[in-house]
Amino acid sequence: MDKLLITGGNRLAGEITISGAKNAALPILCAGLLTADTIALSNVPQLQDVATMLKLLRQMGLQTEQEGSRMMLNGAAINKLEAPYDMVKTMRASILVLGPLLARFGEAKVSLPGGCAIGSRPVDQHIRGLQAMGAEVHIEAGYIHARAKKLKGTRVVTDMITVTGTENLLMAATLADGETVLENAAREPEVTDLAHLLVAMGAQIDGIGTDRLVIRGVAKLHGAEHTVIADRIETGTFLCAVAATGGDVILKNTRSDILDAAFDKLRQAGVILTSGPDWIRVQMAARPKAVSFRTTEYPGFPTDMQAQFMALNAIAEGASRVTETIFENRFMHVQEMNRLGAAIDIEGNVAIVKGVDHFVGAPVMATDLRASASLVIAGLAARGQTLIERIYHLDRGYDRMEVKLAAVGAQIERVK
């Protein structure tokens, strides 16, 4: 099993190209199930989660061609309307095939997702929404069985803001009879990116980027071309890495306007940020200042940036409080960070962080995707060597992170 060996203390300088967003690419790939025509995609990240999703879609009959970050999808030969447990258990985003299959073919059988290390992510909002649109849904032997001769437009109000729930219902509504209104919809840029692709495919959607989406169903969707949005979480991760280590790095192929909440907190920490239409320059010449924050749905501070920013707070001047409101078990990196010399206590869903002068390298273990990234940041800022085990978590959502970091001066290598 691969590990990362980091010798900390190096100043980062140079340029890093940001990859396409994992959380945009996964639903966009599932949108290939909605049409028999070809969808041409650019800026698709080369990640383990993307490979897993493609494997699932191919076994359903979706034809794919891939060359680097470019991809062609064709759904003319879909012949299997099932997502089996052995594939869904490795990636919860597999639930995103439910809406498209049901809308286009009138039937879907999708395994219930397995457990998630960072907390429960219930799919009941997906099911209730589809039932409101006229689907018959039964759960039997760990599978969601859904049928609908034709989905009907309706008003759906979800009990909570759910990104994948919004995406599933949005895709389903594009081929439903009549008008569907999704209230309390997720506003994340990745949801917006999916909506833009669907419009390019012929869908009629109003309210894109707001919490109220109005979809007028069409008889069929057609092929389209689309470029996947830049990964804001990868961007934020590298911003924190430069801030924690000091340095001067330009991030290319990214956007600042989808990171407003994180930008504000980084500036409070003393980070110097400048940006253009597709680049961000991050500079840090002093010890960071401690900054308290609370995770919440977009456009608030993203839960997917909590662990990385905590690594910055851990070596900051002063004390801070980090409140996690999205997932009930997303502080698993704290124990490992404390092994590196951090002083972090947990009280319920609040982490109290007392800044220390520096991290000290040690062996640590990654517990989930964003926890892995936070440990990389801590290792880069530590004195001595840090060995991070179980980095398969990292490979799920970061495209060759160690290669990108090494190119700007980090002493980091993948070891077997």
What are the DSSP E strand ranges found in 37-154?
38-42, 63-67, 70-74, 82-83, 107-111, 136-140, 143-147
HSE on the CB side for 167, CA within 13 Å? 28
State the Cα–Cα distance between residues 362 and 340, nearest whole angstrom.
6
Residue 210: closest CA among 244, 185, 242:
185
- Residue 406 exposed, middle or buried by CB count within 10 Å (0-12, 13-18, 19+): middle
Closest CA to 110 of 155, 178, 60: 60
β-partners of residue 107 are: 147
d(CA 218, CA 203): 7
CB neighbourhood size of 125 (10 A): 20
Bridge partners for 143 per DSSP: 111, 140
Please say whether the beta carbons of 324 and 331 come within 8 A. yes
d(CA 343, CA 332): 14
Q: Which of 76, 77, 116, 117 is catalytic?
A: 116
- Taking residue 147's Cβ as centre, other Cβ atoms within 10 Å add up to 15
Q: Which of 88, 91, 95, 46 is nearest to 66 (CA)?
A: 46
Is residue 268 left, alpha or beta, with left meaning phi > 0 and alpha meaning psi from -120 to 50? Answer: alpha
Contact 148, 133 (CB under 8 A): yes
All residues at 6 or more sequence positions from 116 whose CB lies less than 8 Å from its CB, including other chains: 92
Whether 116 is catalytic: yes
Backbone angles phi, psi at 334, to 5 degrees: -60, -45
Q: How far apart are CA 118 and CA 369, in angstroms?
A: 10
* C-alpha radius of gyration, the chain, whole number: 21
- Closest among 118, 104, 40, 70 to 396, alpha carbons compared: 118
The residues annotated as belonging to the active site are: 116
